[in-house]
Structure 1
Amino acid sequence: MKIQAEALLFDNDGTLISSMESVFRCWRRWAEEYGIAAEDFERVELHGRPAVEIIAELLPAEQIPGALKRIEQLEVEDVPGGVVVLAGTKELLTSLPMDRWAVVTSATRPLAEARLHEVGIDFPVMIAADDITRGKPHPEPFLLAAEKLGVDPARCVVFEDAPAGLESGRAAGMKTVALATTHDPAELVADLVVRDLSAVSAQAIEGGVEITTED
């Protein structure tokens, strides 16, 4: 299948890289520090959501700023050795013109940058939790990325592994490609579902990028 676009927008964790072991390790330590009962912690979805939203489900408002700083500290400190690049990521990104893609992540900028730098990925544009007022599944993160790249949202393709991120891309009026790296394909609503980025190739064309998928 071939898709033409002016820009490609990539989620980070679960799409370009994986830090899930680090994420669960750090959040469990954080929950213990804040005295959160195991059953309360287990019911909260961690993946693909801004930390501030997760914390708001577990702690009173006055504790959120300090708790947010603490989880970011724990996760940044855990980056060395806690991040792996996913199949196909570097091959795809190096084939793209630098002005035609962006990273759109629910992590804070310091954490997302640390994770990408750990695996040797440079990025032209990043939209992080620090840049937005409403996280995924709201369309704001992807709309802001399109604005930064100077591209019509309808001419963007979103690559995501999480249902909330795919919903965000759809709400922004963008085509979506789901990666079955962290969820069962049956849970993923997208224009196209692939196993990971190794099933995707791209080449620059006049005015944008042409994507070819194996799946």
Structure 2
Amino acid sequence: MDGVLIDTADAVHDAYTDWANSNDLDPDEVLEIVHGRRTVEVAAHFGLDDDVEGEADLIEKAIADRASAADAIRPTCELYKSLDPARVAVATSARRDTALTNLRVLGLEHPAVLVTGQDVESGKPSPDPYLLAARQMGIDPARCVVVEDAPAGIKAGKSAGAYVVALTTTHEADELDEADQVISPDQLEELFEPLLSSGGA
């Protein structure tokens, strides 16, 4: 979701920086590993095992409080709106309340399937989020197109057996070369045109 439908890079940066400082951690070290990973995994990585859920709640709330409709990645949101919601799944490392807040902020309908970081044992780069989404959709993962923006998500999608399209919203193209296709958000409509013209997904 983040980096695909909404660009909360500034919100994530500020929230994690504040969190790192409050826990006497180096913000740069924290920011180096956060993208595409669940907040509970970040908290656990830095040894805050006593209350990872509580720490994750604090971080996610700080990010959500900073997010706004102005952070929408317009081409992706427009594509989302043009697709049949019954055939759309969102698999995100965010917690469910954060994901629902982002959908509301963006004015997007609830997808047929929403898989969050709380729904799987292992988050991205594990394939679990995408395997669960495909299973709940009743679709073979090999028939799914995954849109991602980060190496961890790309690895998750590829490991699940999906076709992965990477957007250059948060990383340079050469950092996304494990994807099947690397494009800018403005190229999304052209890429999905055959699908849209055959019935709107």
TM-score, scaled relative to structure 1: 0.83
In structure 2, do the counterparts of structure 1 residues 35 and 172 end up closer, same or farther at CA, with 3 Å as the change threshold? Answer: same
CA contact (8 A) 2:69 2:106 kept: no
2:24 aligned with 1:35, yes or no?
Answer: yes
| Partner SS state of residue 118, structure 2 | helix
Tell me what 2:61 maps to: 73
In structure 2, do the counterparts of structure 1 residues 95 and 37 end up closer, same or farther at CA, with 3 Å as the change threshold? Answer: closer
Give distance in 1, aligned partners of 2:79 and 2:187. Answer: 8
Gapped regions of structure 2 (runs ≥ 5): none
The CA RMSD measured in Å over matched residues stands at: 2.0
Partner of residue 63 from structure 1, selected from 51, 66, 84? 51
CA contact (8 A) 1:40 1:58 kept: no
Deviations 1:48-80 (A, max 9, x none): 11001111121232132321222123223323x
Higher helix share: 2
Deviations 1:80-135 (A, max 9, x none): x3751113123211221121111110000101111221121122221101111100
Gapped regions of structure 1 (runs ≥ 5): 1-11, 210-215
Deviates more, 1:190-199 or 1:160-169: 190-199
2:5 partner amino acid = L
1:147 partner amino acid = R
In structure 2, do the counterparts of structure 1 residues 116 and 64 end up closer, same or farther at CA, with 3 Å as the change threshold? Answer: same
Tell me what 2:90 maps to: 103
CA contact (8 A) 1:21 1:82 kept: no
Tell me what 1:156 maps to: 144
In structure 2, do the counterparts of structure 1 residues 183 and 56 end up closer, same or farther at CA, with 3 Å as the change threshold? Answer: same
| Partner SS state of residue 88, structure 1 | helix
CA contact (8 A) 2:149 2:167 kept: yes
Higher strand share: 1
In structure 2, do the counterparts of structure 1 residues 82 and 54 end up closer, same or farther at CA, with 3 Å as the change threshold? Answer: farther
2:15 aligned with 1:26, yes or no?
Answer: yes
Tell me what 1:17 maps to: 6
Deviation at 1:204, TM superposition (A): 6.0
Structure 1 vs Structure 2: percent identity of aligned residues? 37
Number of corresponding residues:
195
In structure 2, do the counterparts of structure 1 residues 62 and 90 end up closer, same or farther at CA, with 3 Å as the change threshold? Answer: closer
In structure 2, do the counterparts of structure 1 residues 40 and 164 end up closer, same or farther at CA, with 3 Å as the change threshold? Answer: closer
Deviations 1:11-31 (A, max 9, x none): x11111111101111111111
Deviation at 1:196, TM superposition (A): 1.2
Matches within 5 A, 1:196-211: 196=185, 198-200=187-189, 201-202=192-193, 203=196, 205=198, 209=201
Tell me what 1:186 maps to: 174
Q: Which has the higher contact order (CA 8 A, sep 6+)?
A: 1
